[in-house]
């Protein structure tokens, strides 16, 4: 925890400057991960994503497969309150999350999680 002005090899930074530098670093890492899509080869496989949210008005799946676009892959709500979408994905590993009524949500059935630059975790799906 920083208790006074941060210093680094003779430089002094205010708390605001430290926070701004950290935020810029997070944005830089996110841009790098989005701008370098995974190289995948082979036939595509249909993968179904499901998310149970009976009270939700809008659910989209977002991940590396759509450059984390929060609106390009809307899911359809079933009578049981489960939202579904089928995507054709090439073999590889994909990080993803759900965007539910404007808020990020994780897949509770996901078996593999990885940390993201925002201090939370992304789900990972492997397509073979």
| CATH number of the domain encompassing residue 81 | 2.60.40.10
Q: Residue 13 domain-assigned? A: yes
- E strands present in 65-102: 76-77, 82-89, 92-100
Note the pTM of the prediction, 2 decimals. 0.67
Q: Residue 123: which of 22, 24, 27, 47 has the closest Cα?
A: 47
| 1 in any annotated domain | no
Structurally, the chain folds into a number of domains equal to 2
Task: Specify whether the CB–CB gap between 60 and 98 falls below 8 A.
Answer: yes
Per-residue pLDDT of 42-70, as tens digits, reads 689 999 999 999 999 999 999 999 999 99
Q: Tell me which residue range forms the domain holding 14.
A: 6-35
- Same domain for 31 and 59, yes or no, is no
Say whether both 84 and 66 belong to one domain.
yes
Q: What is the spatial distance between Cα 99 and Cα 51, in angstroms, rounded to a whole number? A: 10
Per-residue pLDDT tens over the stretch 3-26: 444 444 455 656 666 566 655 565
């Amino acid at each position: 925890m920083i208790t006074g002005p941060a210093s680094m090899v003779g430089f002094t930074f205010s708390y605001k400057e430290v926070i701004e530098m950290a935020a810029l670093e997070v944005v830089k890492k996110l841009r790098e991960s989005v701008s370098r899509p995974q190289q995948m080869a082979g036939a595509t496989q249909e993968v179904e994503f499901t998310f149970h949210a009976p009270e939700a008005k809008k659910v989209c799946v977002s991940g590396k497969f759509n450059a984390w676009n929060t609106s390009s892959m809307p899911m359809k709500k079933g009578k049981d309150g489960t939202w579904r979408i089928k995507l054709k994905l090439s073999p590889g590993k994909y990080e993803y999350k759900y965007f539910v009524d404007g808020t990020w949500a994780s897949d509770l059935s996901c078996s593999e999680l990885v940390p993201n630059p925002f201090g939370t975790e992304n789900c990972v799906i492997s397509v073979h």
